Amino acid sequence: MHITNQKPVVLVTGSSRGIGRAIALQFAKNHYHVILNCSTSLEQLENVKKEILALPDSSCTCCRCDVSDSSQVTAMFEEISTTCGQIDVLINNAGISHIGLFTDMTDDLWDRMIQTNLSSVFYCSRATLPSMISRKKGKIINISSMWGTVGASCEAAYSAAKSGIHGLTRALAKELAPSNIQVNTIACGAIDTAMNAQLSPEERLALEEDIPACRFGTPEEVASLAWDLAHAPAYMTGQIIGIDGGYI
């Protein structure tokens, strides 16, 4: 059934857990129709859907799609157009990490890191923009990392992809400003998610000691910033906004 446009619509990629889940819940609590997305963690995605539907006046749609695959993104947006109509806010959150020496990185791993973390932003933004441009209204918010600004040892591909998001954000914001579409990026520091669960207790403690705020951030803090950006003045565009506890 087609969703009426009485509710604004947000698409959150990679929303089965962590930051994506928190953002989806933040928008659902504020009466957005939320489109959830992931490619593999379908049980977790269904759990997020249940959480949303337990909220008052809530609605959501689940879309299984690997956003690193251009053809799958095209198919997902065709489905969204039929079932949900236009997207008012696009949150490009899907991403993966890898820690290892640059000299040990294979071609396949490099390609997967770039496709998932950077190309997905291109594919989803390209698919949603025709509708936004025709309406002269829309927000694109990319979830990135402080490593896209300063780089991280043993995370060369991840840093390169996130740096690419920052450049794309600034360029696209300039291109779309005449159409009243704002493009901004949140550069996350150490956030308490499954992505950072690979750290040993000793590594985690050492990182916390380097953070002026003396702790990891929470997914809910990132979600709150994403909500604020989605409702920021139209003159705010092309910005890379750090949420890192003062780390950089």
Q: Do residues 135 and 86 lie in contact, with contact meaning Cβ atoms separated by under 8 Å?
A: yes
Q: Give the active site residue among 32, 158, 235, 247.
A: 158
Based on DSSP, count helices (H) and strands (E) in the chain, helices before strands.
9, 7
Find residue 60's DSSP bridge partners.
34
The C-alpha atoms of residue 77 and residue 137 are separated, in whole angstroms, by 18
Question: What's 191's DSSP letter?
Answer: B
Spatial contact of 217 and 188, defined as CB atoms under 8 Å apart: yes
Q: Positive or negative, the Cα torsion across 14, 17, 20, 21?
A: positive
Backbone dihedral region for residue 198 (phi beyond 0: left; psi -120 to 50: alpha; all else: beta) = alpha
Determine the Cα–Cα distance for residues 86 and 110; give it in Å rounded to an integer. 33
The tokens describing 72, both together, are 């799958």
Using alpha carbons, list the distances in angstroms from residue 151 to 145, 164, 230, 232, 245: 9, 12, 27, 28, 17
Count of C-beta atoms within a 10 Å radius of residue 204:
16
Q: Is 247 a catalytic residue?
A: no
Name the helix (H) or strand (E) containing 140.
strand 138-145
Catalytic positions, please? 158
